Amino acid sequence: MTFDLGPALLFCPADRPERFQKALERADAIILDLEDAVLPEAKDSARRNLIDLDIDPARVIVRVNAPDGDAFAADLEALAQTDFRTVMVAKTESAESLSAFDERYSLIALCETARGIHTADSIAAHPQVSAMMWGAEDLVASLGGTSSRDATGGYRDIARYARARVLLEAGAHGKAAIDAVHIDLDDVVGLEAEAMDAVASGFRATACIHPNQVAVIRAAYRPDDEAVSWAHAVLTAAQSERGVFRFRGRMIDEPVLRHARSVVARAG
């Protein structure tokens, strides 16, 4: 199974149907959330909204509650009454916990607890997993901590480790990796820096929680004209070269050419 929904994925509470269409217009895909964004007393109405919704399922991800929670079975029952088949599984902690999904579903495993990060390798190997995502705040909470970020606003070491591990395990198994949300809505500079680092590191998308964050993420993932021009030029030069060669003062080998192909692909 493949993941190709675009770089900006916008969370939208499933109990707020008045926001669905606007969210879909703003983002590359929306994540209709049945989990943390919805209070326990509103989950039934959120599921009904999901069942009644008539929008293109190709651009919709549904985040369900954790497999070991009381709400999970009801989420699956609601999903079965819809055409939505891309599912983000909150607090995924093992590959075995994904056995509740049949072959119709493409899964995004959200590793956001200590157990989930610890078993990220086996989760990434699951045949129905098309992408992996990590979460910072739930991870730190699962460890008994209080914040994923330090006084400078940067991630603490444990969060950086979790981010890197999910990216690495996803890549090792040919799956896409999705970067975590930037929860400080006013920190545009920080969001931009993290999104730019995400694409440079190999993430395929970044999740967000407000429509105003979409444009920042898209811009970060879109290579500039100079980068695209260089990528096209070096790929053209490679057609007449053998092995390692020099191009505009730089040594070029296959890893560099793969970087160039990635730039061209992101440029569309």
Q: Tens of pLDDT along 28-40?
A: 999 999 999 999 9
How far is 43 from 57, CA to CA, in rounded Å?
20
Provide CATH 3.20.20.60 ranges for the chain. Answer: 8-221
Q: What is the pLDDT, as a whole number, of residue 113?
A: 98
3-class secondary structure, 108: strand
What is the reported pLDDT for 266? Answer: 81
Backbone phi, psi, residue 18, to 5°? -70, -15
Q: Examine the pLDDT at 1 and tell me if it is beyond 70.
A: no
pLDDT confidence band for 2 (50 / 70 / 90): low
Q: What mean pLDDT do residues 110-120 have?
A: 98
Is the pLDDT reported for residue 238 higher than 60?
yes
| Distance, CA of 61 to CA of 41 (rounded, Å) | 22
Cα dihedral angle (54, 29, 153, 35), rounded to 10 degrees?
40
Q: Which residue, 80, 86, 63, 67, is CA-closest to 15?
A: 63
Does residue 207 surpass a pLDDT of 90?
Answer: yes
Query: What pLDDT does 223 receive?
Result: 86
Q: Is the pLDDT of residue 242 over 90?
A: no
pLDDT at 262 over 90: no
For residues 132-156, average pLDDT: 96
By the 10 Å C-beta count (0-12 exposed, 13-18 middle, 19+ buried), 102 is classed as: exposed
Structure tokens at 192: 């931009």
**Closest by Cα among 203, 208, 261 to 236:** 261
87 — pLDDT class (breaks 50, 70, 90) = very high
What pTM did the predictor assign? Answer: 0.90
Average pLDDT, the chain: 95
Q: What is the DSSP letter of 5?
A: S
Q: Is the pLDDT of residue 3 over 80?
A: no
Write out pLDDT tens, residues 62-71: 999 999 999 9
Span 199-203, average pLDDT: 95
Orientation of helix 188-201 relative to helix 214-221, angle to 10°: 40
In this predicted structure, the answer to whether residue 268 has a pLDDT above a threshold of 80 is: no
Return the pLDDT at 4: 81
Pairwise CA distance, residues 174 & 127, whole Å: 11
Which class in CATH covers the domain with range 8-221?
A: alpha beta
Mean pLDDT, rounded, for 75-103:
97
